[in-house]
Structure formats: structure tokens, C-alpha cells
Amino acid sequence: MNNKNKILKILKRIWFTCAILFTIWLFYSYQSHGVSKTLLESNAEISVKDNENYFLFEPKQTADKVLIFYPGAMVDPKAYVPLCRKISENGIKVYLIKMPWRLASNGYELPKQLGLLSDKNKTYILAGHSQGGKMAGQFVKENPDLIDKLILIGTTHPRDISLAKSTIPILKIYGSNDGVADEKSIFRNKAKLPVTAKFVEIKGGNHAQFGYYGFQLGDNSATISREQQQVETLKIIMEFIN
């Protein structure tokens, strides 16, 4: 074996090793962090269910509003448990969908397939973060009569489709320090939403702090705490829903 072949072989081994280490780091980084186990336990006010398709947070008192949440790509759905639990504590039934392979592109039709939208007496709100927001928009595009309100969080979408003619209320929440869904890209696609769509900025917020997970590639550092970003996100969502 000549020197050239030896070098190529070494480089291939280095590349393979780096690829494995990067995959391990990526999986760990997108795991949920800092989510208390008590948030997945039922109490006197909230009933919690955990099955292969979703986490369900249901107020013990009858709820006339149902929110369905799509996680971001590759992110552990548990990372959104704190936000979803808080929403349910405001009298809303919440489904946090567990996407196949953690990709909303593979499971965005689950709410319809599982019959989660079958009660005509309920108000249905669909929300999603990052790629989850992209596929939430896709679901509304394909099923315009099933969803009453749409919430897009930390996403540049809709980008490849247009919801400009949609008649439902639409909210877009974004962080000023979001490096994945930056403000410039978000407003570049503004025409893909109705003129009535509401845009709300969280000053100092970044991409990953919309959930409870690690650093995301391409993101910027937040200048507010994760807890503060979560509080502001919840407040914005509840004002929009009510």
C-alpha cells in the first residue's frame, strides 16, 4: 500500500469516527433536559396519559378547546412537556404528538388518523415549533376545515406553500436571537400568511429555549433565561387563544 492509499484510509477512519461522535452529540443535545417527572403525573386538576402516539394533558373539568402540538425535528417530545402542561392548566386539552423518527414530516397527519379532531363542538388549535410549525402549516393547507387556529413557533415557514388565503387566525412567535429561524427569513415569507396573521417577537429569545433541550446547530445564545422565554411564550399563546 502506497503512502497515498494509507493517507486516504486514515482520513476515512477519521471521517467515520467524527460522524459517529457528531451523531451521538446531536442525539444527546436534542434530548429533553430539566423536565421534572412530576409534569408527567396526574393530579387533582390535570389528567396525564402517555402512549406511543402522544402525551395527553387533560383538565379534569370539561374543556371546549383542544390544542395539538408538533415538536421540532429530532427533538425529544418531552422537551415541550413544560409548555404543554402549562397550557392545559389554563383549561385546554393538549395533545403533544410523538412523531415517528422524531420527524413531523412523517407524522403530521396523526391527529386526523387518530381521530383527535372528531368532536365538532370543540375548538381546535394546531401549534408547532420549527419543522413542527412547517408541518402544522402543511396540515392546515391540506385540511382547511379541521383547524380553527394555527400557532407557528420559531419557524420560517410557510415557505414552500402559501396560506395567504386562509381564513383562520394565525399567530407566529419568534425570538430576536433565533439563529435557526431568524427574523429576516421569517419576514421574507410574510406574504405566505394572511394579512391578518399576528407576529410577536420575544426579545432575547432563541430557538432552543422554546423547548427544554440542548444547543441546536446554527442557533444563537439567548439573553433571557429559558424560564422567562417559556413564560412569555405561554402568555402570548393564551392571549391568542382567548
Residue burial 170-180, b: 16+ Cβ < 10 Å; e: rest: bbbbbbbbbeb
Strand-strand pairing, 170-175 and 123-129? unpaired
* Residue type for position 64: D
Residue 16 has pLDDT above 70, yes or no: no
pLDDT of residue 107: 95
Residue 7: per-residue pLDDT: 66
Local confidence band at 21 (pLDDT 50, 70, 90 cut-offs): very low
Dihedral class, residue 134 (left if φ above 0, else alpha if ψ from -120 to 50, else beta): alpha
- Reduced 3-state DSSP string for 227-241: HHHHHHHHHHHHHHH
